Structure 1
Amino acid sequence: MQIIISEEAVKKAVQQEYFNKREASNYLGISMQTFKTWREKFKIPYQSIDGMILFARKDLETFMNEHKR
């Protein structure tokens, strides 16, 4: 399944420091289901503030770099 991300969304992501689940999956170019699986399996760090879960861009980048081959 190919995910198409608009140029506007890419520009916003470059400037954005924290992402919700959907934004994080879009940032990584994966489906929400794949992101959920990875989040649970690899324990991707997140912040939880008043029930809102946010993922730091630097943590997502670190996660991807740790799984680089």
Structure 2
Amino acid sequence: MQLLDEDNLTKFIKSVVIGMKPELKSNLDQKDIKKMIELSSREWLNVGQSADYLGVSTTTFRVWRKKHKIPSYTIEGVTRWKKSDLDAFWKRRGVEGYL
């Protein structure tokens, strides 16, 4: 599992935000980035956090992510999953209300 230092997390956040709203590129300052990092830590999960969130082992999560095509986002070699995508997967699997 790759750990993110603050610089890599900042790059990840910038890439995601700029990908969604390119016009924001010139308006991002350190304060905005720190706020996005705080918010992203609640929404964007690494493989271990995603497995924990779903209540399974990392091995099971790795199998599921390929088998069930759980959406992931890889930027600069760092892969993350959105909680909302994990929730949608869980609902599709017929276990709504379990989480």
TM-score (norm 2): 0.53
Identity across aligned pairs (percent)? 35
Q: Give unmatched runs, 5+ long, in structure 2.
A: 1-40
In 2: Cα distance, 1:17 partner to 1:25 partner:
14
1:23 Cα deviation after fit: 0.4
Q: 2:73 aligned with 1:27, yes or no?
A: no
Q: Give unmatched runs, 5+ long, in structure 1.
A: 1-14
In 2: Cα distance, 1:66 partner to 1:51 partner:
28
1:49 Cα deviation after fit: 0.8
1:68 Cα deviation after fit: 0.7
Considering only CA atoms, is the larger Rg found in Structure 1 or Structure 2? 2
Instruction: Give every structure 1 segment of 4 or more consecutive aligned residues whose post-TM-superposition deviation is greater than 6 Å.
Output: none
Q: 2:77 aligns with which of 51, 58, 69?
A: 51
1:26 Cα deviation after fit: 0.5
Residue of structure 1 equivalent to 2:88: 62
**Relative to total residues, which structure has the larger helix share, 1 or 2?**
2
Whose relative contact order is higher, 1 or 2, with alpha carbons under 8 Å and at least 6 apart? 1
In 2: Cα distance, 1:47 partner to 1:34 partner:
19
**Relative to total residues, which structure has the larger strand share, 1 or 2?**
1
